[in-house]
Structure 1
Amino acid sequence: MKNALLPLAVSLSACLAPMTAFAHPHIFAEARMEIIEGADGNLEEVRNIWRFDEMFSASVVLDYDKNSDAKLDKEELAEIGNTVHESLAEFSYYTFITQNGKPVDLGKPDAIHVDYKDNQILMFFSMKPQKPLPIKGLLSFGAWDPTMYTAIDFAKDTDLVVKGSHLAACKHKVIRPNPDEIISQNQNNLTDAFFNDPTGTDMTKLFATRLELTC
């Protein structure tokens, strides 16, 4: 596994010295999530699109540009995708769904597709529920790194998209937690171990932007 993508196993950057992840995420990605309804009225899949910052993207090019032509060829992009596909499995590919507060099990994506445009790495992949998921109750969708090493940002509320008549009929609410308020409300749980545990924690979701649907 190449050095620049080792962080995708621990969470996206071995090329930088470890620091407190919450205070100093090392990798930044602009995200878009598309939540797709199937013909049977159940949730069919969740599609992720991530555009990474130029510094991290440059480090990936440095490690994977085998022919030193300052770009990433088809084979090089495929190798990056294969590495990420293997690395992020234990982190649920940073993709999390709950129904009425209970986690929804998702299958692995078939592949991680990678592109390189305007000096930035882009990744595309989709995930499907392992069991039929009716569109009812309180559904929550989000993308975050449990180790807090990577900041995944939905810059606009419209970057969280639903497609399908049942999904569109649900009440939509984008939740953007205030970090200061979260820390103040959870002081007894947010210990030094929480901020420095490289394996991550379920508490991370408290800080993450997510879409809630009431159906």
Structure 2
Amino acid sequence: MTTLTKARFPLLALLLALVLLPRPAAAHPHVWVTMKTELVYGADGQLAALKQAWTFDDAFTAFALQGMEKQKDGSYGDDVLKPLAEVNITSLKEYEYFVRGKTATAKLAFKDPTDYYLTYENEALTLHFTLPLAKPAPAKGSLTVEIYDPTAFVSFSFAEKDPVKMVAAPAGCSQQVVSPEPPASSTLSEAFFSNLTSASTYGAQFADKITVKCP
């Protein structure tokens, strides 16, 4: 992994410290994440937080855990998983945790994540975290949550089973998951992708969306 890559993708650089990740020319994305999301409503009926569970692909998991000591039962202890979870959350801040949200009239602002941790099951790492809203959003009307990497380095897709749940939502609320068409093989150069930043809009076209409507 080059110095430029480390600067551009701090999450990956830190998580894969001392690991050389092969990167074929013009091959994007490089990491795949299967996700589940919970929309958590407060007692006042307003949207209060998003709970995320992101399962990384097996290749990324293997790189991230290379050289880490397993326990006798084949799992990894807190001495391994806690520091990795901290690195993930700290590094994701620059990218706004890959989550964007809006109502019909305003963007949703989020606080820093809480209750974050990593689990290891079926040879895959899953990052769990809660994103509290800075200001709870009224349920009435519609809102949209988009999840994507603006640089297209990470590809997100919802789990086939129970991808989104609404917790304590007001009666009559409904949600729908909208997934983009898989990106075609890119003919763009590696230099193009290396110049993308957290402020880029390129990855928005690949956003997975949750739309919520409440009466």
Asked if TM exceeds 0.5, the reply is yes
CA gap 1:44/1:71 in 2 versus in 1, 3 angstroms: same
Query: What does residue 151 of structure 1 align with?
Result: 155
Query: What does residue 187 of structure 1 align with?
Result: none
What code does the residue aligned with 1:38 have? G
What secondary structure is seen at the aligned counterpart in 1 of 2:135?
Answer: coil
Contact 1:30-1:154 at 8 Å conserved across structures: yes
Aligned residues: 201
CA gap 1:9/1:84 in 2 versus in 1, 3 angstroms: farther
Taking structure 2 as the reference length, the TM-score comes to 0.78
> Is 2:29 aligned against 1:16?
no
Query: What does residue 131 of structure 1 align with?
Result: 135
Query: Which structure is higher in helix share?
Result: 1
> Is 2:72 aligned against 1:82?
no
Post-superposition Cα deviations, 1:65-99, rounded to whole Å, max 9, x if no partner, equal 15798752211101101111210011111122111
Query: What does residue 197 of structure 1 align with?
Result: 195
Question: Shift of residue 116 of structure 1?
Answer: 1.2
Equivalent position to 1:94, from 87, 90, 98: 98
Equivalent position to 1:174, from 164, 173, 177: 177
Report 1:52-67 matches (<5 A): 52-63=56-67, 65=68
Q: How far apart, CA to CA, are the structure 1 residues paired with 2:105 and 2:202? A: 14
Equivalent position to 1:164, from 159, 168, 187: 168
* 4+ residue runs over 6 A deviation: 67-70
What code does the residue aligned with 2:40 have? I
Taking structure 1 as the reference length, the TM-score comes to 0.78
Q: How far apart, CA to CA, are the structure 1 residues paired with 2:49 and 2:213? A: 18
**Percent identical:** 25
What code does the residue aligned with 1:209 have? D
Query: Which structure is higher in strand share?
Result: 2
Q: How far apart, CA to CA, are the structure 2 residues paired with 1:165 and 1:111? A: 21
Query: What does residue 54 of structure 2 align with?
Result: 50
Post-superposition Cα deviations, 1:92-130, rounded to whole Å, max 9, x if no partner, equal 111221111632110011242011112111110001110
What code does the residue aligned with 1:86 have? T
Of residues 66-75 and 133-142 in structure 1, the stretch that sits farther from structure 2 once superposed is 66-75
Q: How far apart, CA to CA, are the structure 1 residues paired with 2:77 and 2:28? A: 32
Q: How far apart, CA to CA, are the structure 2 residues paired with 1:114 and 1:159? A: 19
Contact 1:174-1:212 at 8 Å conserved across structures: yes
Unpaired runs of 5+ residues, structure 1, are 182-189
Query: What does residue 185 of structure 1 align with?
Result: none
Backbone CA RMSD of aligned residues: 3.3
Post-superposition Cα deviations, 1:5-24, rounded to whole Å, max 9, x if no partner, equal x6994453664355677x52
What code does the residue aligned with 1:97 have? G
Q: How far apart, CA to CA, are the structure 2 residues paired with 1:78 and 1:121? A: 12
Question: Shift of residue 56 of structure 1?
Answer: 0.6
